[in-house]
Amino acid sequence: MFGLFSVLVNLSANSAIIDSQSFTQDSFVDTSTGLAWMDFGINNGQSYNYVANQLSDGGDYFGWRLPTTEEIFTLWSNVADLDNVEADYEDLNKYGTGQFYAWDNNSRTVDGDDSVWDDAFSVMGYNTFNSTDFVERTNAIGFFMGENGLASVSLSDAKSKTSYYFTFKDEIKLRDDAAYSGFFLNLAHENYSTMLVREANVPEPGTVGIFASALTLLVMRRTRRHRSSLKNR
């Protein structure tokens, strides 16, 4: 049993942000919490108050709910994963305790898109896309109701189009510092999404197979021991 426990503990330690198409609206899953989050780019262009009123039966987003502040802080900390990656710049408390800002450079090459967060960003969607002669950039800002009123998480994902002169960085931040007035509650703009969450009800990648294999091995060992004990009687 200890061996099986060790397998499951190690698996849990390797949590990830993964793509999910289990629901009508595309989402991504934080495997460490088992929560599915609506992709950016789905409810952007709709105000926070409008989205909040579409969560009941018959609404556009029935089945989803608004997240708690704790859930947001956990999600965004897991996306940033600053304990395990080495971003080029990290300020863990820039906007207040646990409200961080970090950035990491992409390689100075054509199609440079290799910051420490690119795998996570690639499955989370985005609200806006911009392109110049030098860089393509996707951006997302997600509203949630924090301890100090309307608050936000955000990401910016750059992809270099040139290998000359410029280095482009990816950014991630979380702020719950009363930065947004009540005006933003009814602002419908493509830059802003409202964060929505629901239970994923899906296992972590490989969990079922690993659990089954470990359980089968355990049963086989016990069967062999039982047969051996019968022979020795």
Say whether both 6 and 30 belong to one domain. no
42 and 140 within one domain: yes
Shared domain for 134 and 62, answered yes or no, is yes
Q: Are residues 179 and 125 part of one domain?
A: yes
Please check whether residues 111 and 1 belong to one and the same domain. no
**Domains of the chain: total:** 2
Residue 164 has pLDDT above 90, yes or no: no
215 against 178, higher pLDDT: 178
What is the pLDDT confidence band of residue 55, given thresholds at 50, 70 and 90? Answer: very high
Tens of pLDDT, residues 39-49: 999 999 999 99
Give CA–CA dist 107/77, Å, rounded: 24
**115, 190 Cβ separation under 8 angstroms:** no
Domain span at 30: 17-203
Considering the domain architecture, whether residues 190 and 222 belong to the same structural domain is answered as: no
Q: Kindly state whether residues 88 and 148 are assigned to the same domain.
A: yes
pLDDT tens column, 188-228: 999 999 999 999 974 444 444 544 454 454 444 444 444 44
Residues 29 and 110 both lie in one domain: yes
Percent of the chain with pLDDT over 70: 76
Q: Both 176 and 228 in a single domain?
A: no
Tokens 């460490």 appear where?
Answer: 32
On whether both 6 and 76 belong to a single domain, the answer is no
* Res 107 pLDDT > 60: yes
Report, in angstroms and rounded to the nearest whole number, the Rg of the chain calculated over CA atoms: 22
Whether 197 and 222 map to the same domain: the answer is no
Q: Are residues 215 and 188 in the same domain?
A: no
H/E segment holding residue 70: helix 69-80
